[in-house]
Amino acid sequence: MAEFWTIEGIDGAGKSHLLSRLATTASFQVTALRKDAPPHTGNAWLDRRLAQIHDLTWGYDHAEPVWNYPANYWLHSLAAWYALFYHAHVAPALDQKSPVVVDGWYFKHQARMTLSGDDRLVVQAEGVFSALPQPDRVVLLTTPAEVATTRRAETSKPSEHGAFTTKKATTSPATFTDYQTRTAHALEKLLSAHPAPVHALHSTADDKDLLSLLRREVNA
C-alpha cells in the first residue's frame, strides 16, 4: 500500500521549498502536494470550500488580532481543513499506489498549542488532531531557528512570533528566533511520541536527499 509522508519543521525550515523541488525533479512516481497550492480536484464545489477554509485560517489580514479568538476555534478550524484536504487530495493519490508527500501536517500547530500553558487546550488538541488521518512517515527538517529567521525576516507573521501565546503582535527577529526555538523543541518532543518513523534531514538537505530517502524506505 502507498505511504503518506509529511515534511515537518518550524516556520522557515524549508518545507515548501523542498517539496516544490521534489515535485519538479522526482525520477520515480511520487505525488508531491503543497498545501498552499494544491491541484484542482475537478470538483469545483470541493475546491472552493477548501480555498475558503484555507483563506479564513491562513489568508487573513495580518492586522487582524486573530489571537484574541478562542483557541478551540482555531483548533477545530485547522482540523476541518486538514480533514478535507486529506479527503480531496491525499486519499485519492494514495489510491494510485504512489507515495504522497505533503509539506507539513498538523504537528507544528499542536506543538504551538503545547506552549500555550493551557492544559485543557493541550488535551483537546491531542484528541482532535489524533482523530485526523496520520502519516506513515515523517521527515523532520532540523533547521536552526537562527537560519529560519534569516529566511523569514521580511515576511514573518505575528503568529510566527508567538502572538497566540503572548497576545501581542510583535515582529522583531529576536522574538521570531525565540519562539521558533521553543516550537522546535516542542515539535521534536511531539514527534518522538508519534508512532510514525521520523527521518531527520539537515537544513542543507535538498530534493536529492529527500528522493534518496523516499527510494530507500519505499523499496525497503
pLDDT in tens, 156-201: 899 999 999 999 888 899 999 999 999 999 999 999 999 999 999 9
User: Does pTM surpass 0.85?
Assistant: yes
User: Mean of the pLDDT values across residues 134-149?
Assistant: 95
pLDDT at residue 208 is higher than 90: no
Residue holding cell 488532531? 129
pLDDT in tens, 26-48: 666 889 999 999 999 999 999 99
Residue holding cell 528566533? 177
Strand partners, 61: none
Asked if 153 and 173 count as a contact pair (C-beta separation under 8 A), the reply is yes
Q: Name the helix (H) or strand (E) containing 58.
A: helix 44-58
CA pair distance 19, 42, nearest whole angstrom: 23
pLDDT at residue 218 is higher than 90: no
User: Mean of the pLDDT values across residues 78-95?
Assistant: 97
Asked if 8 and 108 count as a contact pair (C-beta separation under 8 A), the reply is yes
Asked if 10 and 184 count as a contact pair (C-beta separation under 8 A), the reply is yes
Hey, which bits of the chain come out as E strands?
Answer: 4-8, 31-33, 100-102, 137-141, 198-201
pLDDT grade for 220, boundaries at 50, 70 and 90 = low
Which grid cell sits at 197? 518513523
Helix (H, G, I), strand (E, B) or coil at 25: helix
Which grid cell sits at 55? 483563506
pLDDT at residue 153 is higher than 90: no
CA pair distance 161, 80, nearest whole angstrom: 24
pLDDT grade for 57, boundaries at 50, 70 and 90 = very high
CA pair distance 75, 106, nearest whole angstrom: 10
**Domains of the chain (ranges, CATH numbers):** 4-218 (3.40.50.300)
Asked if 98 and 31 count as a contact pair (C-beta separation under 8 A), the reply is yes
CA pair distance 122, 110, nearest whole angstrom: 8
Pairing of strands 31-33, 198-201: unpaired
CA pair distance 174, 160, nearest whole angstrom: 12
Asked if 181 and 147 count as a contact pair (C-beta separation under 8 A), the reply is no
Task: Name the burial class of residue 178, with classes exposed (0-12), middle (13-18) and buried (19+) by CB atoms within 10 angstroms of its CB.
Answer: middle
| Per-chain mean pLDDT for the chain | 92
